[in-house]
Amino acid sequence: MTSLRPLRTYSLLNNLANSLISPFVSFFVASNGIIGSLLAIVSSAGTTFPGIIQYILANLYVRAKKLVLIGTLTTGLLWISIGAFEIYGSAFVLIYVIITISLGTANFGWLLILDKISETARGRTLAYYNFYGNIGGLIATLITGFIVGNKLYLMRYFFVIGGLIYLVNAYVIYHSDVDAGTIKSNKLFTSNPEVRKFLLINFIFTFIWAMAWPLFPLAQVYKFHMNEFNIAVISVISGVSTIALQRFIGTLVDKHRKTVMFLGRFALATFPFAYAFSTSIFEIYLAEVVSGFIASASISYTAYLFDNSSYQEKRTNIALFNMLNGIAALAGSSFSAFILSLISPRLGLVMAVNLLLILIGIMRIFSSFLYLKVKESS
């Protein structure tokens, strides 16, 4: 009989390690004076490079468990190296790109495992594992932010700690007896016209969505003068909101998927508007309450792909979704960084960031209505 306990442990530890590091990466890079294209790469890397590697993996005969093991182990070793050798600047960006590729490898295997164990109730099961994954991360993020504060050099120790947790997690998944099959599709693109339309809509929205990503850390550093504790509070508010709503939204995903997809994207306009119009950090904190619904709604997009894909095309469709998201994210993030470089010398950095965020918020609202064009599976 298959035991699901190691999967719960993996989900919790993975989120714990991620929460010690990920909420601070873009802020950490911006605080060290990196702006422009390198900041755009960092802010979009978590979407871009996992998506590309997952498309490649979808066309290989590799067991899901092996993907999770290799990706998690490599991630741990690289974070330990960054902390132990104090790697910063452009070298940090390069290694971080490799880390996101490793995380993408592990996440693709994890999605295939989740697909296997969630066949009868997509929304509830996916929300269940996300719920367990969020429990330990909140306290870890708050502790990291509280200890580091304005002392950015202390992050090296949390890079090492996070890396060690990833290594422990590799051991956990190694001893798990849950795995997914190796059936793959020989097609490079989906044959389902509704899935193709969904992928196009998602590409358009992700391009617009990602335009704000390199602007947020700049606003945090140069407009609101935040420190890592402020970043931690933002992440914790988001996490608490997510835990409070995730199971409820997971049930809604099974009943009203298209509505949840639309509202999840529509609500993303909250953040660029908040950063553009807020005059204090506390207004940013308030806006973060909305992120719980947005994070919970994210399972609806994965669930849609699972339920609208044949068994033979499932890997391809998941990989296409992530790869196209990745390309759109890098393009959108780089585009806004380029526009910022053109207008900031005339307007000033903060004014230029505010203007772009307002425009992006408006575009997010209009593009979210595209999800109402998606047809739900019968």
Look at residue 129 in the predicted model and tell me its pLDDT.
Answer: 57
Task: Give the CA distances from residue 220 to residues 29, 98, 231, in Å, rounded to whole numbers and listed in that order.
Answer: 12, 26, 8
pLDDT(97) > 50: yes
Q: How far apart are CA 339 and CA 208, in angstroms?
A: 13
Which stretch of 67-76, 112-121, 209-218, 221-230 has the lowest confidence by average pLDDT? 112-121
**What is the average per-residue pLDDT within 250-266?**
87
Between 299-307 and 193-210, two packed helices, what is the crossing angle to 10 degrees? 160
Mean pLDDT of the chain: 88
Q: How far apart are CA 265 and CA 278, in angstroms?
A: 21
Greatest mean pLDDT among 16-25, 94-103, 113-122: 94-103
The sign of the torsion formed by the CA atoms of 290, 291, 293, 297 equals: positive
Which stretch of 5-14, 31-40, 117-126, 130-139 has the lowest confidence by average pLDDT? 117-126
**What is the average per-residue pLDDT within 89-111?**
93
Confidence of residue 227 (pLDDT cuts 50, 70, 90): very high
pLDDT(233) > 90: yes
Q: How far apart are CA 303 and CA 253, in angstroms?
A: 8
Percent of the chain with pLDDT over 70: 90
First to last CA, the chain: 33
**What is the average per-residue pLDDT within 208-221?**
98
Q: How far apart are CA 190 and CA 55, in angstroms?
A: 12
Look at residue 79 in the predicted model and tell me its pLDDT.
Answer: 98
Look at residue 203 in the predicted model and tell me its pLDDT.
Answer: 97
pLDDT(117) > 70: no
CA angle 93, 360, 130 (to 5 degrees): 60
Look at residue 244 in the predicted model and tell me its pLDDT.
Answer: 84
Look at residue 177 in the predicted model and tell me its pLDDT.
Answer: 79
Look at residue 66 in the predicted model and tell me its pLDDT.
Answer: 92
**What is the average per-residue pLDDT within 265-278?**
98
**What is the average per-residue pLDDT within 270-288?**
97
Look at residue 181 in the predicted model and tell me its pLDDT.
Answer: 61
- DSSP assignment letter at 224: S
Which stretch of 1-15, 17-31, 268-282 has the lowest confidence by average pLDDT? 1-15
Confidence of residue 185 (pLDDT cuts 50, 70, 90): low
What fold does the segment set 5-373 form as a domain?
Growth Hormone; Chain: A; (1.20.1250)
- DSSP assignment letter at 278: -
Domain ranges for the chain, please list them: 5-373
**What is the average per-residue pLDDT within 232-255?**
84
pLDDT(136) > 70: no
Confidence of residue 12 (pLDDT cuts 50, 70, 90): confident
- DSSP for 91-111? HHHHHHHHHHHHHHHHHHHHH
Contacts of 14 by beta carbon, 8 Å cutoff, 6+ apart: 72, 133, 166, 169
**Long-range CB contacts (within 8 A, 24+) of 126-129:** 126/250, 126/253, 126/299, 126/302, 126/303, 127/246, 127/247, 127/249, 127/250, 127/251, 127/253, 127/296, 127/299, 128/247, 128/250, 129/7, 129/8, 129/11
Would you say 131 and 124 are in contact if contact means Cβ atoms under 8 Å apart?
no
- From the list 75, 232, 91, the residue with the least C-alpha distance to 162 is 75
pLDDT in tens, 14-50: 888 999 999 999 999 999 999 899 999 999 999 999 9
- From the list 80, 130, 46, 67, the residue with the least C-alpha distance to 298 is 130
Look at residue 1 in the predicted model and tell me its pLDDT.
Answer: 44
pLDDT(295) > 80: yes
